[in-house]
Amino acid sequence: MDIQELLAASKAATVSMAGASTTQKNLALEGIAKELEANVSEIIAANELDLAAGEQSGLSKALQDRLRLDAQRVKSLASAVREIISLPDPVGDSVQGRTLANGLMIQQVRVPFGVIGCIYEARPNVTVDIAALAIKSGNCAVLRGGSAAENTNKVLISVIQKGLIGADLPSSAVVTVDPFGRDGAVELMQARGLVDVLIPRGSANLIHTVVTESKVPVIETGDGIVHIFADASANVELAIPIIVNSKAQRPSVCNSLETLLVHEQVAAELLPKLAKALAESSVLVHACEQSIAVMPGSIHATEQDWATEYLGLELSVRTVKSLDQAIAHISKYSTKHTESILTESIANAERFLQEIDSAVVMVNSSTRFTDGGEFGLGAEVGISTQKLHARGPMGLRELTSTKWLVRGNGQVRS
């Protein structure tokens, strides 16, 4: 097939997918989970080829981490697919309904989008996550996983298609345009009429390119300049593990902490202890003038640091005078992803929740919890930082639209 034939086949498959029963879709997902478990060695071997090529080409450590699959990560992918099986099928759910005075019965119900396109880079887990969510929500998926993960994704697409075929669903419901290289990505962005919605996941540059060049409607996922603010009442013993977990538990992902703001009243107690804990996790600290004095081993922060998504073991730290200053800093530099406040003040917590305009706002919690799986959505398609249709982690419901059903018995409008 050429790329237009591939896209047309995917569009044609939307009829079968939209009409598939929950039982049939779950059967396909269980088939995918079993195929993942049965093909661990083949998946890892393909992934090793991609990792070797990435290291040779200078792929960043953050992207290498996202690219890497080992036996445990493949097992986790299978578990995530099975978790989606256990979730309610949103297709056909009634959003609202009423009977009008003239007897017309109207009902708004959830329906699949149709064809969901996704452009991402060096994230083979996304291949499985999006395919599984698309299948359960009655959609088709056209994927562009990028050259960095091409060998891995080739095997994963084969695994997914075997699961579809085993449930008597069309294999063209999940396809990739990777064999067409960059032209595949361009065609996907231009495929208005064949692709119903496009979701980019990756670097700020990738997302910007898709948003500005796509003719297909885009749900924008954003990079994560994520903040924590430790206010004057923060419990230091509680704060340190939250901050370290937010930064170091998996620094290469978009919900990891990038900037810590600390109220000056707690800085002298918190920052020296935190410096030691961060050093044990090999985190390099970029600190403001006031912070650097009490954080041994830190370096001077620049203006650029406040606007940097490190995606690695680096952290910016700034001491602030008030909650007002913290909110102003976040409003200026945040990418509207996730922000958290560490506080014992109910009033400050509620004000932070109210005034911070991000997709996820937290109190006394690690930012690493911003995740579809952690939120009980199963896997996620991405974390939307826009305000249209979906915001925050996107699961099954966010992959549906609605339509109105109207049942009458001869009514005419006067």
* Residue 13 and residue 111 in one domain: yes
* Residue 258 and residue 399 in one domain: no
Does residue 31 fall inside a structural domain? yes
Which pLDDT does position 140 carry in this prediction?
A: 98
Residue with token string 């297909």: 216
Does residue 296 fall inside a structural domain? yes
- Rounded to whole angstroms, the Cα distance separating 258 from 315 reads 5
Which pLDDT does position 270 carry in this prediction?
A: 97
* Residue 313 and residue 240 in one domain: yes
Nearest residue to 271 via CA among 293, 241, 302: 293
Overall average pLDDT of the 305-309 stretch: 95
- Calculate the average pLDDT of the chain: 95
- Rounded to whole angstroms, the Cα distance separating 178 from 176 reads 5
Does residue 204 fall inside a structural domain? yes
- Exposure string for 144-177, b = 16+ CB within 10 A, e = fewer: bbbbbbbbbbbbbbebbbbbbeebebbbbbbbbb
With cut-offs at 50, 70 and 90, classify the pLDDT of residue 386. confident
Q: Give the rounded percent of residues in the chain with a pLDDT score beyond 90.
A: 86
Does residue 413 fall inside a structural domain? no
* Residue 149 and residue 114 in one domain: yes
* Residue 68 and residue 217 in one domain: yes
105 SS3 class? strand
Q: Is the Cβ–Cβ distance between 104 and 407 less than 8 Å?
A: yes
Nearest residue to 32 via CA among 123, 142, 131, 146: 131
Does residue 337 fall inside a structural domain? yes
Does residue 414 fall inside a structural domain? no
Nearest residue to 399 via CA among 200, 196, 242: 196
pLDDT tens track for 218-269: 988 877 899 999 999 999 999 999 999 999 999 988 899 999 999 999 999 9
Does residue 376 fall inside a structural domain? no
Which pLDDT does position 95 carry in this prediction?
A: 96
The total domain count for the chain is: 2
Query: For the chain, percent helix, then strand, then coil, each to nearest 5?
Result: 50, 20, 30
* Residue 215 and residue 231 in one domain: no
Q: What is the enclosing helix (H) or strand (E) of 129?
A: helix 124-136
CATH of the domain at 100: 3.40.605.10
pLDDT tens track for 99-120: 999 999 999 999 999 999 999 9
pLDDT above 90 for 382: no
pLDDT above 90 for 66: no
Q: Is the Cβ–Cβ distance between 312 and 61 less than 8 Å?
A: yes
* Residue 266 and residue 311 in one domain: yes
Which pLDDT does position 303 carry in this prediction?
A: 96
- Amino acid 261 reads L
pLDDT tens track for 117-150: 999 988 899 999 999 999 999 999 999 999 999 9
Which CA distances in Å does 343 have to 119, 145, 249, 279, 315? 39, 41, 22, 24, 20
CATH of the domain at 255: 3.40.309.10
Estimate to the nearest angstrom the gap between the alpha carbon of 53 and the chain centroid. Answer: 25
Does residue 380 fall inside a structural domain? no
Q: Return the structure tokens found at 32.
A: 């995918």
* Residue 37 and residue 70 in one domain: yes
Q: Is the Cβ–Cβ distance between 28 and 17 less than 8 Å?
A: no
- Rounded to whole angstroms, the Cα distance separating 229 from 340 reads 6
For helices 236-248 and 264-280, the axis angle rounded to 10 degrees is 50
Nearest residue to 152 via CA among 48, 77, 31, 63: 48
Which pLDDT does position 372 carry in this prediction?
A: 85
Residue with token string 């600290």: 285
Domain extent at residue 231: 226-369
pLDDT above 90 for 380: no
* Residue 131 and residue 210 in one domain: yes
* Residue 60 and residue 199 in one domain: yes
* Residue 188 and residue 251 in one domain: no
* Residue 216 and residue 270 in one domain: no
pLDDT tens track for 17-62: 999 999 999 999 999 999 999 999 999 999 999 999 999 999 988 7
The predicted model scores a pTM of 0.85
Which pLDDT does position 19 carry in this prediction?
A: 96
Overall average pLDDT of the 306-333 stretch: 96
- Rounded to whole angstroms, the Cα distance separating 151 from 67 reads 11
CB within 8 Å of 206: residues ≥ 6 apart: 119, 120, 121, 200
Q: Return the structure tokens found at 215.
A: 């003719």
